[in-house]
């Protein structure tokens, strides 16, 4: 029990920090609706899309995921929503992935990653329904990568990240029948345990 407690404290503290960060983050739907409110013609849609692209990636991804940016891309000036759904879509997991780096039974550090799945725009709602299955498959692959030394040394080198992206893509494709075009690693960091 004495060996388990020091490993548990950093994980609980990390989870508490993430929960607090999520509670303090502004609601992305409110930001999307505020950006969309002046949109009545094709020109306003382009301005709302530009605003979303210049903002943080957290707010730009949900706008693209809900297809708001797709309407501005096609300039459907009549405002009736006749624009086709974007051929591409991105599903960003709402919470980060935490991967403990264990060595000789001790947690030396934690890898923190933000992952996004590139898919078809029409499949975004179905992708959200399968979030838990996809998260499990990706976390399983990240743990294998960590336990085989994949995050040791210079883990940000492209020669190390390219095989990881490929393995994550195969894991996601095996977990769902939806199209998974790529896995994007948006953020990656190592935090000392």
Q: What is the pLDDT of residues 79-104, one digit of tens each?
A: 444 445 567 889 999 999 999 998 87
Average pLDDT, the chain: 74
- 100 token code pair: 């403990």
pTM greater than the 0.75 cutoff: no
Sorting pLDDT into bands at 50, 70 and 90, what band is 138? very high
Q: Number of folded domains in the chain?
A: 2
Assess whether 78 and 100 both reside in one domain: no
Assess whether 72 and 142 both reside in one domain: no
Assess whether 111 and 164 both reside in one domain: yes
Q: How far apart are CA 182 and CA 172, in angstroms?
A: 9
Assess whether 76 and 18 both reside in one domain: yes
Assess whether 80 and 97 both reside in one domain: no
Cα 27 from chain centroid (whole Å): 16
Domain stops at, among 53, 84, 115: 84
The single-letter DSSP state of residue 102 is: E
Assess whether 126 and 63 both reside in one domain: no
Assess whether 79 and 98 both reside in one domain: no
Residue 31 host element (H or E): helix 28-36
Q: How far apart are CA 27 and CA 94, in angstroms?
A: 12
In terms of Cβ atoms closer than 10 Å to its own Cβ (0-12, 13-18, 19+), residue 161 is middle
Q: How far apart are CA 104 and CA 125, in angstroms?
A: 42
Domain stops at, among 84, 118, 143: 84
Assess whether 10 and 94 both reside in one domain: no
Assess whether 156 and 185 both reside in one domain: yes
- pLDDT confidence of residue 104: 77
- pLDDT confidence of residue 41: 46
- pLDDT confidence of residue 84: 54
Structural domain harbouring 24: 4-84
The CB density around residue 173, as the number of other CB atoms within 10 Å, is 15
Domain stops at, among 84, 109, 136: 84
Assess whether 118 and 146 both reside in one domain: yes
The single-letter DSSP state of residue 84 is: P
Coil, strand or helix at 49:
helix
- Residue 93: CA count within 13 A, CB half-sphere: 26
Assess whether 98 and 45 both reside in one domain: no
- pLDDT confidence of residue 1: 59
Q: Which of 35-39, 70-74, 119-123 has the highest mean pLDDT?
A: 119-123
């Amino acid at each position: 029990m004495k060996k388990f407690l020091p490993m548990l404290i950093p994980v609980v503290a990390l989870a508490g920090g993430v929960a607090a960060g999520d509670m303090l983050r502004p609601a992305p739907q409110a930001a999307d609706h505020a950006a969309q409110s002046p949109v009545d013609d094709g020109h306003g849609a382009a301005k709302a899309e530009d605003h979303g692209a210049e903002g943080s990636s957290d707010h730009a991804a949900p706008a693209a995921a809900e297809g708001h940016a797709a309407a501005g891309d096609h300039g459907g000036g009549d405002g009736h929503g006749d624009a086709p759904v974007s051929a591409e879509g991105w599903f960003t997991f709402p919470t980060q992935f935490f991967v403990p780096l264990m060595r000789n039974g001790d947690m030396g550090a934690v890898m923190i990653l933000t992952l996004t799945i590139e898919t078809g725009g029409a499949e975004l709602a179905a992708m959200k329904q399968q979030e838990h299955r996809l998260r499990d498959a990706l976390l399983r692959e990240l743990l294998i990568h960590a336990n085989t030394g994949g995050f040791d040394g210079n883990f940000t080198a492209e020669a190390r990240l390219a095989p990881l992206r490929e393995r994550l893509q195969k894991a996601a494709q095996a977990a769902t029948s939806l199209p998974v075009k790529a896995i994007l690693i948006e953020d990656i960091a190592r935090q000392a345990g």
